[in-house]
Chains A and B, each alone.
Chain A
Amino acid sequence: MVSEDIKKLVIMRLQAMPPNLKLSIGKYGTFTKEELIERVQKEDEVGKLIIEMQLKYLRSFKKGII
């Protein structure tokens, strides 16, 4: 179970994604930002993967990797 705060944070990041972008996630297919937001809200497999990816990105700031 992902906390609502984390979901909100990830959704805010996805909302900032330019509308012309699509994300390819292997066998799951390709997703627009609206579809990604929906998946994060539902917390299905794709949603969990996106949350994990965004958290990894945010942690890399904390570690000073970027």
Chain B
Amino acid sequence: MKYVLISRPKFDETTTYLYIWASKVIAFLERLNFRVIDLKNKKANKKNIENALIKKNPLLVIFNGHGSPTEICGHNNEVLINLENKEYLKSKIVYSISCNSARELGKKVADENTSFAGYENEFIFLMDKNKACTPEKDEIAKPFMECSNQFSISLLKGKTTGEAYEDTKRKYNEWICYFAAKEYLPEASSIISCLIWDRDSFILHGNKEKIIL
């Protein structure tokens, strides 16, 4: 049985958006018959994460939530992974959609048999405040969602971590070009500035040849 572990707390506007975005990846995983360990809301806590990592040994671990250079957080910013328990992530593919966590933690987790993809700086995105209650219908946030989900989707299509990383960078560039060509839209330059920031902050450490299929 191939397990994928997803952590998706939901306790503020930012985590609510990430939570909804992750549901698209979960739907994709279920279509491919992966067993998804979906640690959502309050279940996104340290005890559950460590139990799942030890007992189920997932191939892929996706974190959504807040973070810091040395931490990945869950529900109400409880620290899920830091420099003390980072060994639980060894030999896995880790995708951390949480600010700054690739900077120090990601570097230390990654090795020749472990891949860690994530963001070195703050992960920034724009939203339409009139759509905050229905993030799935937010067209302003859509480019960020697509770029954010691309790494997981590419892995699920059988690509290596290195290829999934390149696909993600390409997806950012596609959206940047799309809005550059539509500079008459009032939101275009704001969206481009955020996409450039996230694109340049996204990084892959460790093994670039790992696959999950």
Contacts and interface: CB of A to CB of B under 8 A. Distances in A.
B180 interface: yes
A23 interface: yes
A13 B13 contact: no
Contact of A22 (B12, B99, B100, B127): B127
A18 B186 contact: yes
Most chain-B CB neighbours within 10 Å: which of A29, A57, A65? A57
Interface residues of B, number: 35
Given A21-B128, A32-B129, A57 B14 contact: no
A49 B194 CA distance: 11
Interface string A1-38: 00000000000010011101111111111101000000
Contact of B66 (A17, A26, A60): A26
Interface stretch (B22-30, B42-50, B81-89, B117-125): B117-125
A33 B210 CA distance: 42
Interface in B47-82: 66-68, 73, 77
Contact of B194 (A20, A26, A29, A53): A53
A66 B176 contact: yes
Contact of B189 (A25, A32, A57): A57
Interface of B: 12-14, 17, 66-68, 73, 77, 98-100, 122-130, 132, 140, 176, 180, 186-187, 189-190, 192-194, 196-197, 200
